[in-house]
């Protein structure tokens, strides 16, 4: 399986020029608050499609203390003994550009992106089941993107179609044939998103049910999609006509509400404890962290076993308030699944539970 061997930052965030070497297993990035630990993880996340896990403007990647207009990231990615030299930088129009072995060929870049998938744990995920539904949708969509690299195109196209429809509804004399065409496309892309989310939740639930780590780790919970429109119309995924008619009937309501009242953008993803029926939102912060780590482990197993795809795990400040259960989960992730892991923290003693084989990167 492939892994990130090193990374060099030039004029990126708070780094003028810094290089870091990594192990194919566990890498711990240590430093004081504000030293740039998360910036390293963000740079690693830029190896994938998009603008990294912060989804920031490309212009904001540039070191604010430097008068240069360019940032540069170079990384060596090793896959089955083959070295791939990756370069990431910004264009004159501040668009992210990437090359693989000095090639900008789409087929070459797509091949590189197919070799791995990055899974995140960010500090705000500790309360994932207490925050906005949009963050949970994004989390689930991110898991789907891990296996289908073009899924983000589906989601972004769907969002644009919703925006286009709303603009048309504001026009009293809108073109009926044009809005019908937009609504037809909304049904098409919305149905794909519904289907992908349902299928992936089912896959994760199956793995969770079979997951055996140790007797002290509870994994008897189940995830589900929560969507009133979907629950009321179970055939909606395959019945485009029903979806289309409902959109048409809701035009007046959507005009006054300022948005589309049905569709996967209104969904939530939640779960419940199968022992007592408690919602996951009722669990403590530590228990919610356990749930997220179990989902990440299940996602890794799905990618490895079903798709033969290499996951790379980014865990930002995951060791805060870490109990024995969650330490055991991290050890399982690192030692049993044999994946490359990046973790950040302020103190080395947070990581005493790790094997001595871990690679420590200290930021001054």
In a domain, 291, yes or no: no
Task: Check whether residue 113 and residue 136 sit in a common domain.
Answer: no
For 301-323, give the DSSP string: HHHHHHH--EEEEEESSTTTT--
Q: Residue 260: which of 168, 129, 193 has the closest Cα?
A: 168
Is residue 327 domain-resident? yes
Distance CA 266, CA 276 (A): 27
Q: Is residue 300 part of a domain?
A: no
Asked if residue 104 belongs to a domain, the reply is: yes
Q: Verify that 244 and 351 share a domain, yes or no.
A: no
pLDDT band at 15 (very low <50, low <70, confident <90, very high): very high
Q: How far is CA 35 from the centre of its chain?
A: 24
CA distances to 92, 214, 234, 265, 360 from 262, in Å: 40, 42, 14, 8, 48
Q: For the segment 312-360, what is each residue's pLDDT rounded down to a tens digit?
A: 999 999 988 788 889 999 999 998 898 999 999 998 888 988 977 799 9
Look at the block and give the residue holding tokens 């871990």.
358
CATH number where 116 lies = 3.40.50.300
Q: Are residues 262 and 137 in the same domain?
A: yes
Q: Report yes or no on 292 lying in a domain.
A: no
Element (H, E) at 188: helix 176-210
> Does residue 124 sit in the same domain as residue 213?
no
Per-residue model confidence as pLDDT tens digits over 141-156: 999 999 999 999 999 9
Determine the Cα–Cα distance for residues 292 and 123; give it in Å rounded to an integer: 11
Among 129, 138, 141, 74, smallest CA distance to 101 is for 74
Domain harbouring 232, CATH code: 1.20.1050.90
Expressed as residue numbers, the domain containing 108 is: 1-129+308-364
Residue 41 and residue 91 share a domain = yes
Please report, to the nearest 10 degrees, the dihedral formed by the alpha carbons of residues 337, 338, 341, 346 taken in order.
Answer: 90
15/125 same-domain check = yes
| Domain presence at residue 328 | yes
Residue 149 sits in the same domain as residue 203? yes
Domain count, the chain: 2
- Residues 111-136 pLDDT 10s: 999 999 999 999 989 899 999 999 99
pLDDT digits (tens, 9 = 90+) for 169-218: 999 888 999 999 999 999 999 999 999 999 999 999 999 988 877 666 66
């Amino acid at each position: 399986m492939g892994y990130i061997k090193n990374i060099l930052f030039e004029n990126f965030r708070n780094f003028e020029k810094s290089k870091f070497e990594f192990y194919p297993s566990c890498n711990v990035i240590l430093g004081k608050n504000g030293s740039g630990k998360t910036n390293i993880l963000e740079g690693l996340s830029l190896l994938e499609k998009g603008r990294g896990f912060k989804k920031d403007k490309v212009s904001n990647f540039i070191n604010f203390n430097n008068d240069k207009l360019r940032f540069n990231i170079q990384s060596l990615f090793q896959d089955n003994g083959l070295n791939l030299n990756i370069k990431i930088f910004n264009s004159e129009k501040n668009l992210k550009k990437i090359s693989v072995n000095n090639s900008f060929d789409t087929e070459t870049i797509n091949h590189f992106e197919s070799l791995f998938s990055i899974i995140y744990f960010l500090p705000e995920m500790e309360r994932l089941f207490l925050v906005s539904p949009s963050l949970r949708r994004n989390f689930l969509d991110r898991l789907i993107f891990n296996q289908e690299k073009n899924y983000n195109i589906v989601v972004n196209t769907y969002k644009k179609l919703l925006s286009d429809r709303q603009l048309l509804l504001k026009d009293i004399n809108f073109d009926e044939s044009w809005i019908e065409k937009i609504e037809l496309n909304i049904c098409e892309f919305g149905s794909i998103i519904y289907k992908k989310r349902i299928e992936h939740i089912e896959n994760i639930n199956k793995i969770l049910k079979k997951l055996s780590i140790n007797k002290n780790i509870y994994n008897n919970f189940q995830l589900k999609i929560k969507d009133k429109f979907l629950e009321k119309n179970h055939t909606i995924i395959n019945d485009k006509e029903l979806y289309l008619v409902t959109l048409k009937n809701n035009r007046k309501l959507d005009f006054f509400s300022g948005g589309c009242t049905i569709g996967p953008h209104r969904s939530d993803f939640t779960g419940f404890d199968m022992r007592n029926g408690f919602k996951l939102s009722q669990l403590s912060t530590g228990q919610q962290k356990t749930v997220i780590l179990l989902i990440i482990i299940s996602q890794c197993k799905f990618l490895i076993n079903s798709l033969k795809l290499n996951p790379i795990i980014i865990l930002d400040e995951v060791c805060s308030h870490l109990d024995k259960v969650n330490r055991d989960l991290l050890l399982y992730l690192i030692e049993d699944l044999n994946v490359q892991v990046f973790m950040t923290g302020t103190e080395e003693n947070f990581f005493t539970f790790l094997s001595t084989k871990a690679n420590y990167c200290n930021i001054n």
